Structure 1
Amino acid sequence: MSTDNATEREQERNEPGPFETLGRGLRLSPELRSGLAFTLVLAAITSIGRLVVPVSAQKVLDNGLFGAGGPDVRYVLGVTAIGIGVLAVTTASNYLMNKRLFIVTETALANLRRRTFRHIHDLSMLHQQSERRGSLTARVTTDIDTVSQFLQQGGMQIITSLAQIVVATAVMIVYSWQLALAVWVVFVPVSLLIKWLQKHLANAYSNVRKSVAMMLSAVSESVVGAGVVRSYGVGARTSQRL
């Protein structure tokens, strides 16, 4: 048991990190690098637009409605018009970013699925007989769907969140560097905690993938080997396993 635990710990240490995995994915799928710089620019514009509403509200309240000279309607209307214009640009940028992201990822994933199918068919019959059918099926179904979900949702959130952190930090420094320092004092430990949790989540998800492969294997083997199951009278045991 101790040897197995030591082997598992050694495998965990050798597991690539998230950024290393992401970089390997970009190298293996050059389609994902198409227009990446422009997508990052659109993400930055979208992040800036998200800060327009609170900044505009602060300007309207402090300088427009409760200014030293009383309410200034023209100032309020001007700030509101600028805010609406920026939000319109932000909405258009967000639309273009999502459109490019979905088109690029679906194109890359279609090619990845074809390459995966081709690789499985090129494997020797001995390897295919020794491998669980569910594991091979999961490679071109569940795993590809997980990659798709990450690229279209998690990947987009990572891009926009990083851009928003930079922009929000710059805005806070302009308003109050003390406030920015206080926020980062809290943010840094949380980032380290998230990194620690990420390792445990990765291990848990690895166990989930193994469970999915076992489930698909049980289903496929009971269907393909239906005749054998009936011949040996192990239908009850097969049903219990399912």
Structure 2
Amino acid sequence: MSSSVQGVSGEDRLNYTKAESKAIRRRSLRLLGSMLAPMKWRVVLTAIVVVAQTGVRVLGPALLGLGLNEALPAVLENDDWGPTWFVAGAYAATAIAGAALLAWYDILAAKVTQTVLLDLRTRVFRHTQRLSLEFHETYTSGRIISRQTSDLDTIRELLNGGLTQLVNGVLYGAFTLIALMLLDWRSGVVVVVAFVPLAFLMRWFYRASQRAYRGTRIISAQVIVKFVETMTGIRAGKAFRTEPGNEKTFGKLSWDYREANMKVIRLFGTFEPALMAISAIAIGVVVLWGGVRITWGEFAVGSLLAAVLYVRNFFTPLQEVAMFLNSFQSASAALEKVSGVLEEQPSVPDPAKPVALPQARGHLEFDDVTFGYGEGKTILPDFRLDIPEGQTVALVGTTGAGKSTLAKLVSRFYDPTRGRVTLDGIDLRDLSQADLRRAVVMVTQEAYLFSGSVADNIALGRPDASYDEIVAAAKAVGAHEFIEQLPDGYDTDVNKRGGRVSAGQRQLVSFARAFLADPSVLILDEATASLDIPSERAIQKALQTLLADRTAIIIAHRLSTVEIADRVLVMEHGRIIEDDAPEALKKGDGKFAQLHRAWRESLV
């Protein structure tokens, strides 16, 4: 896994070291640059258009000053309307040109924004699918949803409106100051002097808002995580009456979110009045000094009007800069989180030069395997096991013995800490994902069904399977009868998580899915746990069909499922303490015999 700076462990902290902050900013900028690079010429064109549009807008006050200084006296003294028509025409032309350029800029910026968002959304989805099971078992679904929804929406708001605000504030302000200097450098000096307290104000606001907005993003993610967790576990919540506790916890998070937003609002409540005060003082000084110079005959009324408009125009967009800082801080925090997910590397990487295995036989071997989850205790210490091809092996033992861990290593959801797991003599780490997933299939207790038809769910491992092949697979495991009774048969939409079918029926569909995939190695991890005793007995024959001519690993607490195994392994503390045929173990006085007698007594 990647480091805490890059990964999930560090991204939700409110405070970072300077080195971490720099690394995160560089990571976010790299991500943004990689998305803009394919559109560099469009970005350049957008920049040219916005510069031209800003330059045209700056001409307005100068034309008004020219009208007062030249055109008005020409009409009053000589009845000459020529200069007036010229100024009016020029002003109208600049207005039309500015509007046209602004419309062009909006279209270009929208295309850039939507292309970036499409790229980013696709990257996040594709990358999170590539990440290993270890990541998904530690990174909650609510946080992933937050990355794909609220975080991307925040980035969209920045690219859509925030950049326009920045351009209006910085570029328009710079052009305005240049125009003011050309018109009257003395008024320009007033603005430059006023810029000193303004710079301190902007710096303070930037730093304070940076902390405040990161806080809002963190708490926002926590609110989403809690909501998703509560709704996902709504059945357990209702069963154990957790509603009051959930409401209290969610209410506390919502209050914290409100307080974080109020902190941001209070920042603006300080910043905007201070900005208005600096602007008002600057305009007042320009008017006073300009009026004095008019009485001295050194300045014209039209020039004073233009100077006042330029000073006002210089400060007004700075409020838009503040709004940009609003969007930027929020989007920056969101981009940090998104880039953190994209920076994660699979803990089970694809091999650089995979070994081809087009048709696996199913011979499995654990060769001096040691494994533990993360920094936790070792689950499998120096583990050895040889499973010949075509053999059905049952794993039994107490909870935590290492049975499911063994299955996850065979499926290569995790890699051994030391040693290797081989299939037909090839280290699983050397096989391509395509060959491995074709050779090894796991059926779990969850039996997840995706939205779509029953047929689509059965064909999950073989999307190109024909309708007849799908039906044949369902018949082989005893699922055909109940599927035919559904409203639309195999075309029935099961809804999210298989809501239209029972738990046992979902398990039968998952068996049909595995049968159709036709793997060389099949793992059943508590796969019959959702079935009642009569249903389990009814599918024993289907299980024998499913397991025939392939290597199989059965993990089950119900020992009835173990009866069909060729070999039983009893595990305890990550080690095999018994290994023999089920009949032989039942006749002994070991752990399996004790478990079997206890199971028989429970049936009576």
Larger proportion of helix: 1
Residue among 30, 41, 45 paired with 1:24: 30
Q: State percent identity of aligned pairs.
A: 19
Are the equivalent residues in 2 in contact too, given 1:52–1:87 (CA < 8 A)? no
Q: Which runs of 5+ in 2 are unaligned?
A: 1-12, 251-604
Out of 53, 58, 75, the residue aligned to residue 51 of structure 1 is 58
Alignment of 1:83-162 (within 5 A): 83-162=91-170
Partner of 1:63 in structure 2?
70
Q: 2:180–2:188: 8 Å Cα contact kept in structure 1?
A: yes
Give the stretch that moved more between structures: 51-60 or 65-74: 65-74
Asked whether the 8 Å contact 2:60–2:94 carries over to 1, the reply is no
Q: Which runs of 5+ in 1 are unaligned?
A: 1-6
Which of 36, 39, 44 is the equivalent residue of 2:43?
Answer: 36
Query: Residue type matched to 1:24 in 2?
Result: R
Contact kept? 2:58, 2:176, Cα under 8 Å: yes
Find 2:222's aligned residue among 214, 222, 230: 214
> Could you say which structure has the larger radius of gyration?
2
More deviation in 149-158 or 62-71? 62-71
Q: Which moved more, 1:41-50 or 1:28-37?
A: 28-37
Determine the C-alpha separation between the residues in 1 that align with 2:38 and 2:87.
Answer: 42
Aligned to 1:3: none
- Normalising by structure 1, report the TM-score: 0.86
Q: Is the 8 A contact 2:124 2:148 kept in 1?
A: yes
**Quick check: 113-122 or 20-29, which moved more?**
20-29
Find 1:11's aligned residue among 11, 14, 17: 17
Q: Is the 8 A contact 2:146 2:221 kept in 1?
A: yes
Q: Indicate how the Cα distance of structure 1 residues 9 and 210 shifts in structure 2: closer, same or farther if over 3 A, else same.
A: closer
Establish whether residue 170 from structure 1 lines up as the match of residue 178 from structure 2. yes
| Counterpart AA for 1:15 | S
1:12-67 alpha-carbon deviations (Å, 9 max, x no partner): 67424999687434422124534222212211122122223322211111111135
- Name the amino acid aligned to 1:38: L
Q: Is residue 142–residue 224 contact of structure 2 (8 Å, CA) maintained in 1?
A: yes
Amino acid at match of 1:171: A
Q: Is the 8 A contact 1:56 1:79 kept in 2?
A: yes
Distance 2:23 2:71 in 1: 50
1:109-133 deviations in Å (ceiling 9; x for gaps) = 1110010111222222222222232
Partners of 1:211 and 1:231 lie apart in 2 by 28
Distance apart, 1:241 and its partner CA: 2.7
Instruction: Please identify, of 140-149 and 156-165, the stretch whose mean Cα deviation from structure 2 is larger.
Output: 156-165
Give, in angstroms, the shift of residue 183 of structure 1.
0.4
Q: 1:20 to 1:32 in 2, by over 3 A?
A: farther
Q: Of the two structures, which has the highest relative contact order with CA contacts closer than 8 Å and spacing of 6 or more?
A: 1
Q: Structure 1 CA distance, aligned partners of 2:82 and 2:98?
A: 24
Whether contact under 8 Å (2:52, 2:101) holds in the other structure is yes
Mark the CA change 1:21 to 1:199 in structure 2 (over 3 Å): closer, same or farther. farther
Cα gap change, 1:120 to 1:183, in 2 (>3 Å): same
Match of 1:15, SS state, is helix
Q: Distance in 1 between matches of 2:86 and 2:25?
A: 44
TM-superposed deviation, 1:83: 1.4
2:554 alignment counterpart: none
Question: 2-side partners of 1:52 and 1:94: how far apart?
Answer: 15
* Aligned counterparts of 1:209 and 1:40: Cα–Cα separation in 2: 30
3-state DSSP class of the match of 2:186?
A: helix
AA aligned to 1:36 is V
Letter in 2 for 1:150: L
- Relative to 1, partners in 2 of residues 1:20 and 1:75: Cα closer, same or farther, differing over 3 Å? farther
Q: 1:80-127 CA deviation, whole Å, 9 max, x = no partner?
A: 111111221111111111100001110111110010111222222222
**Paired residues, number:** 236
1:217–1:19 distance in 2 versus 1, CA, 3 Å? closer
Distance 2:85 2:163 in 1: 37
| SS of equivalent to 1:206 | helix
**Compared with structure 1, are the counterparts of its residues 60 and 20 closer, same or farther at alpha carbon in structure 2 (3 Å cutoff)?**
farther
Deviations 1:117-156 (A, max 9, x none): 1122222222222223222111111111111111111112
In the alignment, what sits opposite 2:343? none
Instruction: Summarize the Cα distance change of 1:19–1:193 in structure 2 as closer, same or farther, 3 Å threshold.
Output: farther
Whether the 8 Å CA contact 2:121–2:148 is kept in 1: the answer is yes
Q: Distance in 1 between matches of 2:176 and 2:25?
A: 23
- Whether 1:182 aligns to 2:190 is yes
**Greater strand content:** 2
